[in-house]
Structure 1
Amino acid sequence: MTNLEQHLTRQMAFSRATYGPGERRKGVCDHIRKEIEKEILKDGVDAAEAATEFVDLVLLSLDGLWRALEASGVEWERIPYVATQMITAKQGRNEQRVWPDWRTMSADKAIEHDRTVPEVIS
């Protein structure tokens, strides 16, 4: 099994050397938009091709995450650990939220949690 912290350390080094330093928030978001519009939602893209493009979104999101953490003052060496902890914590919060029955929802629209239910922070 691949360790996410090890992957992030590798990706961060490649990304900084290839794309440069700094937050680059607008650039990362622009690239994400292009991947979605021109690669994932493009007519004729099958599920296997879409899966490959979703990997690009994961990598771009991780790129944006480490850059935002660095810009917020997290030390370079701690970014992979902090990012992994944030991902794990967010998954936990999502699991605690109240969600509608997916069978009653459109497959073409986002399924969002019930915002009228107070969140329990654990």
Structure 2
Amino acid sequence: MRLTVHHLSRIPEQHRHHAGLILQGTPLPEQAECYLATFNDRAVALAWRRDERLDFFAVRDLTRRRGIGRELLRQIKLDAKAAGLTRLDCDPAQAQDGERDGLAAFLQGQGFRPRDGVLSCCLYD
């Protein structure tokens, strides 16, 4: 099976257990553009954005370094661009303790640069 990125308004019941492992206690937002990456019908990554702000981005620790985060971010950027946004911002401080440096390094490797206290990516590079 292949990796699939779903753009959702809520997490389907069959993915809630694995999504919970990704969230590690972080509550789901009531209003946001949610993205769930699945592989072999298991949730492996989760993100959400509000307008140009990427408020949450996490890949399950067992599945990192396999291109999942890159594909999830690619889809988020495409959707943000289609929505007329010109940039995407993310504050790595939103990540769990011990994950912040890794998230910052990943985002910078994907073209995000420091801007006004957050990491920002121009969608029209």
TM-score (norm 2): 0.26
Whose radius of gyration is greater, 1 or 2? 1
TM-score (norm 1): 0.26
Q: Which structure dedicates a bigger proportion of its chain to strand?
A: 2
Higher relative CO (Cα under 8 Å, sequence separation at least 6) belongs to: 1
Q: Which structure dedicates a bigger proportion of its chain to helix?
A: 1
